[in-house]
Structure 1
Amino acid sequence: METSIEHAHAGAVSPELVVDALFACRKTAAIRAAIELDLFTHIGEGKTPAVLASATAASERGVRILCDYLVVHGFLTKEGEQYKMTPSTSTFLDRNSPAYMGSAVEFAAAPEVLDNFLRDPTSVVRNGGSMGLANMSPDNPVWLKFARGMGSFTGLSAKLLAGEISSWAMSPKKVLDIAAGPGVFGIEVARAFPSAEIVAVDWGAVLELSRQNAEKSGVADRYRTIAGSAFDIDWGAGYDLVLLPNFLHHFDLPTCAALLRKIIASLAADGRIVAVDFVPNEDGVSPPFPAAFSWEMLVSTPAGQAYKQSELAEMAKLAGLTGVTVKSMPPTPASLIVFE
């Protein structure tokens, strides 16, 4: 069934799209409150405001108004005085679900992240990028929030990446994971290849969490870390596989090409470079999430963007490579990028 917002997109004269955009930050605030209260976990098969207020240590009035708002926006249903989960909220926002994504709110709705967008977006557009380094400042604490919160968001992409590499003829022994974050990409490769050694690069505080996740996954004995900027540190050589998960989009094309040249110099014979990123179609406006991601980068970095395949090919050429292969990774919005 067509929603009113979809109808507005279709060409009917309606204020729905404008109103939705003007009030969108209220939706973010509501979902953050619900996640931090563990509201979705407590609802289970259905609860009244009084029961939920007791379970979440919140006021009954506050819970009732929040739940009604979440019903309006499709996160909950309401039958009489009882609120119930939808299949999607049950899958992704119940803390007991293996597909739980609620932890992503720590990064996605972090005050410093939202401030990048809401403080002065007009100046960002005029400037053609963030005012100053924004999220790209050295050792920015926001990346620890990213590592803590976004593992669930990137976990499926990591599993798909490891599965894809497992289908190749190669069996990597030494793997470099650049901008490892929570470590899920390197860890999944380590699990897929029991003899692989992983070297993770990121800021020091982030790598503490990466190491903890490696321990939980049983690969700590094959997991070591190097703290610092990927552009400056010496990470050694002889790598059979270099991973670039969700990293290239933070920088302009020449900077990415320079990083690729550094990586090439550290590869073993027949070594490969694989990135995971959001790749828009050549029209620049589809699919929705990858196409919209350049706005994310405009606001939070000086010169980053989501790169189309043609731009990735140009990047590869500047680095001395022959090209790229791009493969979508459904159901995620990410793509697997193999530099050749």
Structure 2
Amino acid sequence: MSSASPSPQLYFDTINAFHKTEALKAALDLGLFTAIGRTPSTAAEIAARCECPERGIRILSDYLTVQGFLTKDGSHYALTLDSATFLDRNSPAYLGPSADFLLAPTLVEAFRDLTSTIRRGTPEVKSTTPEHPMWLDFARCMGPMMVGPARGIAALVPLDADRETKVLDISASHGTYGIAFAQQNPRAHLTALDWEPVLAITAENAKAAGIANRFSKIAGDAFTVDLGSDYDVVLVPNFLHHFNPADCTRFLRRVHAALRPGGRVVVVDFIPNEDRVTPPGSASFGLVMLSSTPEGDVYTFAEYSKMLADAGFHGFALHPLLPTTASAVIATK
């Protein structure tokens, strides 16, 4: 037995975790991190810039300091490196818009009665039609979070510079993954597959990235629509975790048929270790799938390898996409 005394701290930290969420959301809404910027500031100075009474700003700033988002020296607050990089609106890596999707009612409400979901074995998932706002919100808000891993994957899978090449981005959404390939490979043509309303946003992002003349769309259900053929790379980012292993394998067979000989599939996802409890960020994502999908889950590298093998692929390799919690599984036809 451990000699340490029992502590209720983990219980209280967890049961009150929504305090952290709401405090961070308030700080983003108020522009508190941007108000501090590069200049250590007092509560009064921050309050003036946020146009709020000082008391609320002081209490919020102290709380954010306790949580590790700010530092405090005397009466002056300053941003940590992470906060300066990701929470200041003036930073090119600003992640604030992602809160609109991550805290959207569709996702938050899915956790409201997790007990019933577990008893049933599946959530009462509301209809998510192609026009559902959540898909549009994801496409508008989440792209900046994917830039780093997308560029990393494009570097991992170089394309033949001596000929025209083809890339298919499944469930493309914001298009960040496919756009990264097109930007790093001037002779690559990108095809994005998603619902038609979402593809309007993908096309806007492709135009902004300067690849509109090498961009095309396929609108429809990825399990049934004609994918085309002779692709050099098929990207499958954050898609397979929505489905059970049999459906994943069935879909990967479609991908295999769409690739040219020697072509590669790149699966991007949260991939836990075989113990399914580490690393925490990847393993914990399973609860999101439990709360929001009928049969989705997180899958280990061994599980993905089996799905890919059953679909006809070989040469599986796992690539962690640090510092994010995502990983890529790359396999060859």
> TM-score surpassing 0.5?
yes
Amino acid at match of 1:320: G
Amino acid at match of 2:124: M
For residue 253 of structure 1, what is the aligned residue in structure 2? 245
> How many equivalent residue pairs?
330
For residue 54 of structure 1, what is the aligned residue in structure 2? 48
Q: Aligned partners of 1:48 and 1:31: how far apart in 2?
A: 19
In structure 2, runs of 5+ residues without a counterpart are none
8 Å contact kept, 1:172–1:241: no
Q: 2:124 aligns with which of 113, 125, 131?
A: 131
Q: Aligned partners of 2:145 and 2:132: how far apart in 1?
A: 20
Q: Aligned partners of 1:38 and 1:227: how far apart in 2?
A: 37
Q: Aligned partners of 2:80 and 2:143: how far apart in 1?
A: 23
Q: Aligned partners of 1:310 and 1:326: how far apart in 2?
A: 10
Query: Does the alignment pair 1:163 with 2:155?
Result: yes
TM-score normalized by the length of structure 2: 0.92
What are the Cα deviations for residues 307-332 of structure 1, in whole angstroms up to 9, with x where unaligned?
Answer: 10111122123323346321212222
Relative distance call for 1:193 and 1:89 in structure 2 (3 A) is same
For residue 325 of structure 1, what is the aligned residue in structure 2? 317
What are the Cα deviations for residues 190-243 of structure 1, in whole angstroms up to 9, with x where unaligned?
Answer: 011101110001122222221111111111111112222211222322211100
SS at match of 2:71: strand
Report the CA distance between 1:82 and its aligned residue.
2.5
For residue 67 of structure 2, what is the aligned residue in structure 1? 73
8 Å contact kept, 2:166–2:188: yes
For residue 110 of structure 2, what is the aligned residue in structure 1? 116
8 Å contact kept, 1:180–1:186: yes
TM-score normalized by the length of structure 1: 0.90
Amino acid at match of 1:20: D
Relative distance call for 1:277 and 1:120 in structure 2 (3 A) is same
For residue 275 of structure 1, what is the aligned residue in structure 2? 267
For residue 91 of structure 2, what is the aligned residue in structure 1? 97
For residue 236 of structure 2, what is the aligned residue in structure 1? 244
- 5 Å-filtered alignment, 1:198-213, equals 198-213=190-205
What are the Cα deviations for residues 13-59 of structure 1, in whole angstroms up to 9, with x where unaligned?
Answer: 21111111101112111111111222101112222333323322333
For residue 337 of structure 1, what is the aligned residue in structure 2? 329
Deviates more, 1:101-110 or 1:279-288: 101-110
Q: Aligned partners of 1:264 and 1:253: how far apart in 2?
A: 16
Amino acid at match of 2:43: P
**Identical aligned residues as a percent:** 44
Q: Aligned partners of 2:148 and 2:204: how far apart in 1?
A: 19
In structure 1, runs of 5+ residues without a counterpart are 1-8
For residue 3 of structure 1, what is the aligned residue in structure 2? none
Moved over 6 A (4+): 167-172
